[in-house]
């Protein structure tokens, strides 16, 4: 059954965990997760979007909510970097928490866009440093849990960037699904990543979601990874490229102006959130992914 698309709300952009009435994984019995799928199915994508949203909740609330879907869960905490491991006998989901409300403007901070070396190509220094803060503990637990379990990575916003890097760093990744992801690395990184994962990595972009347009692909050679699934203004999921491919340059010119908008929203100087910010709301993604599966299956 199709679900009503939520009314965009800036509270749930900056504080998704304040959406107390949301019921995570509702209807999961009718949408089984396929651990060894050779592509990111619509059903798997919905599960991963739900996990990415739930990663914003504190452990006291998140762990029992994962349990409603038959998943044991435990937090992985690295200070400013948090994730959940959610698992059952045949599956591990690694869901990274997205951008903290008081750090949201950092996504648009030009000073943080520097590239550093990776196994192939170069990646965003801030994202790599954030992953490094949890990698030792995360990789130890994955070594214990993986074995016969398929390991999938997901996240929303900053969490999507971390899921991309973690999935690429982990040797036995089954698949990656990102929600509202910024660009993560340069063209060499993107080419190697896409060659390795092919249909096992997808990224969802909701209409004009501004976070998916940073860092801009100039002057540094940033490039998106994964197969695009674009959500149109009326909620349809397509493979069409968003019309505002050069959003930052065409609309703002200077990415720093986006940071000003975010600060103005958070301080109350601007009362009406622009659509390009509201489109980043993770609950909107989960509902649209549910409806996409309901309409098409798979």
- Exposed / middle / buried, residue 243 (Cβ in 10 Å: 0-12, 13-18, 19+): exposed
Q: How confident is the model at residue 254 (pLDDT cuts 50, 70, 90)?
A: low
Return the CATH fold of 35-296.
Rossmann fold (3.40.50)
Give per-residue pLDDT as tens, 56-100. Answer: 999 999 999 999 999 999 999 998 899 999 999 999 999 999 998
Residue 248 sits at φ, ψ, to 5 deg, of -60, -50
Residues 6+ apart with CB under 8 A from 267: none
The three-class DSSP label of residue 280 is coil
CA dihedral 171→71→25→193, nearest 10 degrees, is: 0
Residue 2 CB burial class (10 angstroms; 0-12, 13-18, ≥19): exposed
Q: Which tens digits make up the pLDDT trace of 15-70?
A: 999 998 999 999 999 999 999 999 999 999 999 999 999 999 999 999 999 999 99
Distances in whole angstroms, Cα of residue 56 to Cα of each of 49, 52, 98, 175: 12, 8, 7, 21
Q: What is the pLDDT of residues 265-285, one digit of tens each?
A: 777 776 788 888 899 999 999
Residue-level pLDDT at 104:
87
The ranges assigned to domains in the chain are 35-296
Q: In sequence order, what are the residues at sequence separation of 6 or more whose Cβ sits closer than 8 angstroms to the Cβ of residue 49?
A: 154, 156, 177, 179, 204, 282, 285, 286, 289
SS3 content of the chain, % helix, strand, coil (to 5): 45, 20, 35
Q: Which residue has the tokens 């970097």?
A: 81
Exposed/middle/buried for residue 169 (C-beta within 10 Å: 0-12, 13-18, 19+): middle
pTM equals 0.95
> Comparing 42-51, 241-250, 253-262, which segment has the lowest mean pLDDT?
241-250
Please answer whether residues 211 and 188 qualify as being in contact, where contact means their C-beta atoms are separated by less than 8 angstroms: no
Q: Which of 118-132, 191-205, 264-278, 284-298 bottoms out in mean pLDDT, i.e. has the lowest? A: 264-278
For residue 291, give every residue at least 6 positions away whose Cβ sits within 8 Å of its Cβ, in sequence order, or none.
Answer: 2, 3, 5, 235
């Amino acid at each position: 059954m199709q679900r009503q698309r939520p009314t965009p709300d800036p509270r749930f952009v900056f504080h998704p965990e304040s959406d107390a009435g949301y019921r995570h994984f509702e209807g999961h019995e009718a949408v089984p997760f396929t651990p060894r799928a050779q592509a990111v199915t619509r059903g798997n994508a919905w599960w991963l979007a739900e996990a990415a949203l739930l990663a914003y909740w504190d452990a006291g609330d998140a762990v029992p909510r994962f349990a409603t879907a038959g998943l044991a869960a435990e937090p992985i905490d690295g200070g400013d970097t948090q994730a959940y491991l959610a698992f059952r006998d045949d599956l591990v989901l690694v869901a990274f928490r997205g951008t903290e409300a008081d750090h949201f403007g950092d996504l648009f901070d030009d000073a943080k866009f520097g590239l550093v070396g990776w196994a192939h190509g170069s990646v965003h220094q801030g994202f790599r440093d954030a992953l490094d803060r949890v990698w030792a503990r995360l990789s130890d637990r994955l070594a214990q849990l993986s074995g016969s379990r398929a390991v999938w990575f997901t996240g929303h916003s900053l969490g999507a960037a971390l899921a991309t890097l973690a999935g690429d760093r982990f040797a036995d990744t089954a698949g990656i699904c990102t929600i509202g992801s910024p660009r993560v690395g340069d063209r060499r990184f993107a080419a190697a990543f896409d060659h390795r994962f092919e249909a096992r990595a997808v990224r969802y972009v909701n209409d004009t979601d501004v976070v998916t347009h940073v860092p801009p692909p100039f002057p540094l050679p940033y490039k998106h990874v994964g197969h695009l699934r674009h959500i149109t203004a009326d909620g349809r999921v397509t493979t069409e490229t968003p019309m505002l491919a050069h959003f930052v340059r065409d609309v703002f010119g200077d990415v720093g102006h986006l940071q000003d908008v975010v600060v103005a929203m958070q301080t109350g100087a601007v009362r009406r959130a622009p659509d390009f910010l509201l489109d980043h709301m993770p609950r909107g993604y989960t509902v649209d992914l549910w409806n996409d599966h309901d309409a098409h299956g798979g």
